[in-house]
Chains A and B, each alone.
Chain A
Amino acid sequence: MPRIKVEVDGVTYEDDVEPRLLLVHYLRDRLGKVGTPIGCDTTNCGACTVLMDGLSVKSCSVLAVQADGRAITTIEGLGIDGQLHPMQQAFHEEHALQCGYCTPGMIMASLDLLRENADPSEDEIREGLEGNLCRCTGYQNIVRAVRRAADDMRGAAKEVTS
């Protein structure tokens, strides 16, 4: 059985894993990181999106063994000292969720979007989140939340640099 060493939300884990173990099952069943849900199981819905070395991936479509030597960030790694990440806060403020099932993936995909485009237009947000499905909200409030987070995060970045 291959042995992997992977950093998840800032903590390094070493584990023996079956090659067929999916990253999402490793995160949930082995590490207890149940903040990352399994939605469709067919690479469509994006609910299981995490960051691997900073880039969004659907963790149902990556083997745990492929995460060997990589750094994974899940929704559980975003908040610091009980404080919500600005993206989480913006989803809360703008009421960008109803049932909440898509929310972890939606937030991780939104962070990936802002990594490349710190000030996206509404169309760019919709395009950037095309791989994440929400069956409740109609997306309006999600788009609003990402706009708000983009403003908040750029504001925070300015405060740090000035």
Chain B
Amino acid sequence: MIPAEFSYVRPSTVDEAVAALSGAGEDAKVLAGGQSLMPLLRLRLALPEVLVDLDRVDEMREIRDEGDNVFIGAMATHYNVIRDPLVPALVAKTTATVADPAVRHRGTFGGSLAHADPAGDLPAVMLALDATMVARSPRGSRDIPAADFFVDYLTSALEPDELLVGVRVPKLGDDWGFHYEKFHRTAQSWAVVGVAAAVQRSNGTVGAARIGLTNMGPYPIRASAVESAASGGPASADAFRSAAEAAAEATDPPSDLNGSADYRRHLARVLTARALTAAATV
């Protein structure tokens, strides 16, 4: 299968990329690692007139320490994210479950967020960690909290001329444990449901819990009811199982070939209990 014709721009700096994108009109598409976009182009489900390829914008690949946050450049590949010791544990652990090694060599951190696929693993993690997306446009720089970034199925809060340049991920202390629990049918396939959990523990008690759900609606969802139920309680598997009973509240899971909505609600409860237990026992 061969993509439809498009014109191609290859900027080498963020400024050039922003200029190229704003000059390209509404039918432009940003090419990051291409591991989601290339199949869409080949199937002609995406028909952009202009492709702005960020492959050579090296400044966007940087991962740096910013004190309370780690800044992860949008063009950092999954491969680099997994291997960089600066990257917060939940981000690295989750990224290691994305697709397969060849896809992780090309696929990027920012690309998988801007793509806003409800079955993508990283959006739920950004939501659970209260990360901040940093976007650039000809109007300047804009911070977008993760809670406002994922708007709908394959739709982010980015304007057509806005470029996601990176993400500020808050660091959490040593008293936090993390886990991403993903249920999928084959090794490299998308999550039927995924659960990102961060748990703060002290002396067998849960100080705070944060939970992001993958594929339980058109965008990632915070399991707030479970967070409240688990916080202040014992850090035990039984307590987590009981708290996780609320995991499907306020969700809107799809029904598709991989599972019905009811099945997904069941998975959310089971996987949330597992994720909390694993996060608390690290």
A residues lining the B interface (CB < 8 Å): 2, 18-20, 22, 25, 41-44, 46, 49, 52, 55-58, 60-63, 65-66, 109, 112-113, 127-128, 130-132
Contact = CB atoms under 8 A, between A and B. Distances in A.
A143 to B, nearest CB: 14
Given A22-B42, A43-B103, A131-B102, 19 more contacts: A19-B8, A20-B3, A20-B4, A20-B5, A20-B6, A43-B38, A43-B39, A55-B79, A56-B105, A58-B106, A61-B35, A61-B38, A61-B39, A61-B106, A62-B34, A130-B188, A131-B99, A131-B100, A131-B188
Given A66-B53, A109-B101, A22 B2 contact: yes
B8 A55 contact: no
B5 A128 contact: no
A77 B8 CA distance: 30
A43 B8 CA distance: 22
A97 B204 CA distance: 52
Interface centre among B39, B51, B102, B187 (most CB of A within 10 A): B102
A19 B51 CA distance: 9
13 contacts: A18-B5, A19-B6, A20-B6, A42-B39, A46-B102, A55-B79, A61-B39, A66-B55, A109-B102, A127-B187, A130-B188, A131-B100, A131-B103
B2 A65 contact: no
Contacts of B5: 18, 20
Secondary structure of the A contact surface, majority rule:
mixed
B203 interface: no
Nearest to A127: B187
Interface string B40-65: 01110000000101010000000000
B1 interface: yes
A56 B1 contact: no
Nearest to A45: B188
Contacts of B105: 52, 55-57
Given A19-B51, A43-B103, A128-B101, A61 B4 contact: no
B98 to A, nearest CB: 11
A44 B188 contact: yes
Contact of A56 (B34, B39, B43, B101): B101
Given A20-B5, A41-B42, A63 B34 contact: yes
Nearest to B2: A20
B1 A41 contact: yes
A162 to B, nearest CB: 31
Closest 9 CB pairs of A and B: A131-B100, A19-B8, A130-B187, A61-B38, A56-B102, A55-B105, A20-B3, A130-B100, A131-B102
Nearest to B51: A19
Contacts of A58: 102-103, 106
Contacts of B41: 20
B106 A57 contact: yes
Contacts of A128: 101
Nearest to B3: A20
Given A20-B2, A130-B100, A60 B8 contact: no
A21 B267 CA distance: 41
Nearest to B7: A19
Contacts of A49: 102
A27 B30 CA distance: 25
B101 A2 contact: no
Contacts of B102: 46, 49, 56-58, 109, 112, 131
Nearest to A55: B105
Contacts of A55: 79, 105
Contacts of B188: 44, 130-131
A42 B106 contact: no
A60 B41 CA distance: 11
A127 B3 CA distance: 31
